[in-house]
């Protein structure tokens, strides 16, 4: 006689306290250790579940859904992104899919600005210099950066996070333009001008990339498009896979770009050697939403989505909803 597994699988350890509301109502399997399940572990863990709380490391595709079985009701992704999920395959089986928009906007926009400032003012480079023990002294020409006031900022992907990045630009007196597939209504545009993609690139001395990764945006910023940026531009990448990392490294190497910053990577946790070799890039290990408050809110929203669906209701934040 087989024993049914707990109805909920949480694939990754979450911020403290987050799953208590879940486990108060449903038995759940939650890992004790803090690492992503490998593919075999994941496929072995999903059979019989009604709900799975996933992260970007968990690929949800036909094989996952076949392994899970027909009683699966919801996949709740602990991220605003969802490129790990085959939405069509989930829809074909009637599996609801949710993500965590909104709650990570502030933290992620703050991180974009932290990286923007670090890149334009060469903070990583300066820090490395001091820690290396290399002799240095102040001089009128030592480690000069790029000043922000009056410098045009481009936002590629003016969703919630892009809008929050644009809002913060007012404090730095930067004129802002953006590109989305369609221009936003004025009340959402944060006083920024919409431009076609190539025009945005040609006029953005600082470009922040916040558009979601999809088939349409993968490597959207390839070598050719990076070459449209003004000489000495700065690129801040908040979405893995949209900027071609090798092309970015080459543009830094040639001096075409002044600097860059990258918060997450196409093949995490691998970081391309070509980027590691560049002094003028600030590299962060996917910290966009990494604050205590935001991670509790993301986990809490994923849990609320599961509770809503298992309780027979509608999810709070369905993808595309
Ligand atoms: O970390 C990235 C996301 O939440 O999509």
Ligand 1 centre from 287 Cα, in Å?
Answer: 9
Write the residue with the smallest CA distance to atom 5 of ligand 1: 81
Q: Give the atom of ligand 1 at the shortest distance from the alpha carbon of 82.
A: 5
Q: Which residues of 177-196 are buried (b: 16+ CB within 10 A; e: fewer)?
A: bbbbeeebeeeebbebbebe
| pLDDT tens digit sequence for 103-146 | 999 999 999 999 999 999 999 999 999 999 999 999 999 999 99
Q: Give the atom of ligand 1 at the shortest distance from the alpha carbon of 100.
A: 4
Residue 241, ligand 1, Cβ within 6 A: no
β-strands 74-77, 28-29 pairing = unpaired
pLDDT at 1: 53
Write the residue with the smallest CA distance to atom 4 of ligand 1: 79
Neighbours of 94 (CB within 10 A): 9
Residue 320: exposure state from Cβ atoms within 10 A (0-12, 13-18, ≥19): exposed
Total-model pTM: 0.95
ipTM of the complex: 0.91
pLDDT by residue for the chain (321 residues), tens digit each?
567 899 999 999 999 899 999 999 999 999 888 899 999 999 999 999 999 999 999 999 999 999 999 999 999 999 999 999 999 999 999 999 999 999 999 999 999 999 999 999 999 999 999 999 999 999 999 999 999 999 999 999 999 999 999 999 999 999 999 999 999 999 999 999 999 999 999 999 999 999 999 999 999 999 999 999 999 999 999 999 999 999 999 999 999 999 999 999 999 999 999 999 999 999 999 999 999 999 999 999 999 999 999 999 999 999 976
Quick one: CATH architecture of 8-99+292-311?
3-Layer(aba) Sandwich (3.40)
Whether 8-99+292-311 and 105-283 share one fold: the answer is yes
- By C-alpha distance, which of 241, 283, 188 is closest to 81? 241
Residue 152, ligand 1, Cβ within 6 A: no
Quick one: CATH architecture of 105-283?
3-Layer(aba) Sandwich (3.40)
Q: Give the atom of ligand 1 at the shortest distance from the alpha carbon of 239.
A: 2
pLDDT at 140: 98
Residue 85, ligand 1, Cβ within 6 A: no
Q: Give the atom of ligand 1 at the shortest distance from the alpha carbon of 78.
A: 4
Residue 304 to residue 33: CA distance in whole angstroms:
23
Domain regions of the chain by residue span:
8-99+292-311, 105-283
């Amino acid at each position: 006689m087989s024993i049914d597994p707990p109805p909920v699988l949480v694939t990754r350890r979450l911020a403290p306290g987050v799953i208590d509301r879940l486990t108060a109502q449903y038995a759940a399997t939650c890992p004790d250790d803090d690492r992503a399940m490998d593919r075999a572990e994941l496929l072995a863990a999903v059979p019989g579940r009604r709900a799975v709380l996933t992260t970007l490391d968990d690929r949800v595709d036909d094989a996952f859904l076949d392994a899970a079985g027909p009683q699966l009701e919801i996949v709740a992704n602990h991220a605003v992104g969802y490129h790990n999920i085959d939405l069509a395959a989930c829809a074909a089986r009637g599996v609801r899919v949710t993500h965590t928009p909104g709650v990570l906007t502030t933290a992620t926009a703050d991180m974009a600005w932290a990286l923007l400032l670090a890149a334009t003012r060469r903070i990583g480079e300066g820090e490395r210099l001091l820690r290396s023990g290399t002799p240095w002294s102040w001089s009128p020409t030592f480690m000069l950066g790029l000043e922000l006031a009056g410098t045009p900022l481009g936002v590629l992907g003016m969703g919630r996070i892009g809008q929050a990045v644009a809002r913060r630009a007012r404090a730095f007196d930067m004129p802002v333009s953006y590109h989305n597939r369609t221009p936003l209504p004025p009340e959402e545009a944060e006083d920024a001008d919409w431009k076609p993609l190539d025009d945005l690139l040609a006029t953005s001395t600082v470009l922040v990339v916040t558009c979601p990764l999809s088939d349409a945006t993968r490597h959207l910023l390839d070598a050719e498009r990076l070459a449209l940026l003004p000489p000495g531009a700065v690129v801040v990448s908040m979405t893995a896979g949209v900027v071609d990392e090798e092309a970015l490294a080459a543009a830094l190497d040639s001096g075409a770009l002044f600097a860059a910053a990258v918060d997450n990577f196409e093949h995490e946790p691998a970081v391309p050697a070509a980027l590691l070799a560049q002094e003028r890039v600030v590299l962060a290990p996917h910290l966009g939403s990494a604050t205590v408050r935001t991670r509790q809110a993301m986990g809490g929203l994923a849990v609320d989505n599961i509770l809503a669906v298992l309780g027979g209701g509608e999810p709070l934040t369905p993808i595309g909803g």
